[in-house]
Amino acid sequence: MGHKAKVTLIDERGLRHDGRRFDELRPIRMQVGVLANATGSALVEYGRTKVLAAVYGPREPFQKFMTLPDRAILRVRYHMAPFSTSERKSPTPSRREVELSKVIREALEDIVLSSEYPRTVIDVFVEVLQADGGTRVAGVTAASLALADAGVPMKGLVAGVAVGKVGGVLVLDVDEVEDSMGEADMPVAGAPDLGLVTLFQLNGVLTEEEVERGFSMAWGAIERIVSMEKEVLRRKFEAVGEEV
């Protein structure tokens, strides 16, 4: 069996293993309206991480008792496709997938104007097609974009990014190598237009000063990613307007 070559996380020039600076995002790509049979959909790529989100609804559920009289229920299912990682995973939902479904739902729930649609459900399916770190934050971004594409009213757009600590250095938008070999990982999501943080987690140990600096890095990136979301949606609606 061959052994893995040791990866230099930060080189003598201060560059990361993939050539990025400490405060540099991976290339981000976004598309909306990628699924014809969904109310709204989005494909979001953070480097090699690819996440597809599909929204169905607001609609009446098959079982009426599952509704609330004053608002819609937001249901989120996060799932990693069996082919999304190098080791084929079981198609049955893992404990982590159940947990991240809840994390993504909570990152969006207060943003969706659910009171506009009482007695309905809004289903959001987040499918990780390819995993290379940051799937939960890319999932939040994709879900927000798919909800907007579906025309679901929201107080603002949400985006996420993870900051990590590798080789003693805080870095923006960690990939799988940095996540698995680094000392800490801090996923953050929020709605910059509202000044609202909707997801904040920390795995590992950071000092108070590192948390503040890392959060500032994340928030600046989230503002840039939300600007990208707006641009993608604007292009779509301009194209629709031209067709009409």
- Give pLDDT, residue 240: 77
Question: Would you kindly state where each structural domain of the chain is located, as residue ranges?
Answer: 28-243
pTM as predicted: 0.93
AA letter at 29: R
CA–CA dist 220, 215 (Å, integer): 9
- Give pLDDT, residue 6: 63
CA–CA dist 104, 199 (Å, integer): 8
CA–CA dist 128, 81 (Å, integer): 6
| CB neighbours of residue 241 within 10 Å | 8
- Strand, helix or coil at 207? coil
- Give pLDDT, residue 242: 73
Q: What is the DSSP letter of 210?
A: H
**Contact status, residue 146 vs residue 83, Cβ threshold 8 Å:** no
- Bridge partners, residue 29, by sequence: 45
| CB neighbours of residue 236 within 10 Å | 15
CA–CA dist 157, 230 (Å, integer): 8
CA–CA dist 96, 94 (Å, integer): 5
Helix, strand, coil percentages (3-state) for the chain, rounded to 5, are 35, 30, 35
CA–CA dist 216, 80 (Å, integer): 29
Q: How far is CA 115 from CA 61, 70, 83, 149, in A?
A: 16, 6, 38, 19
- For domain 28-243, give the fold: Ribosomal Protein S5; domain 2 (3.30.230)
Give pLDDT tens digits along the chain (244 positions): 343 446 788 888 889 999 999 999 999 999 999 999 999 999 999 999 999 999 999 998 877 777 888 999 999 999 999 888 877 667 677 999 999 999 999 999 999 999 999 999 999 999 999 999 999 999 999 999 999 999 999 999 999 999 999 999 999 999 999 999 999 999 999 999 999 999 999 999 999 999 999 999 999 999 999 999 999 999 998 887 776 5
- Give pLDDT, residue 237: 85
- Give pLDDT, residue 87: 72
Per DSSP bridges, beta strands 196-200 and 184-191 are antiparallel
The CA dihedral of 129, 135, 136, 141, to the nearest 10 degrees, is: -80
- Give pLDDT, residue 1: 38
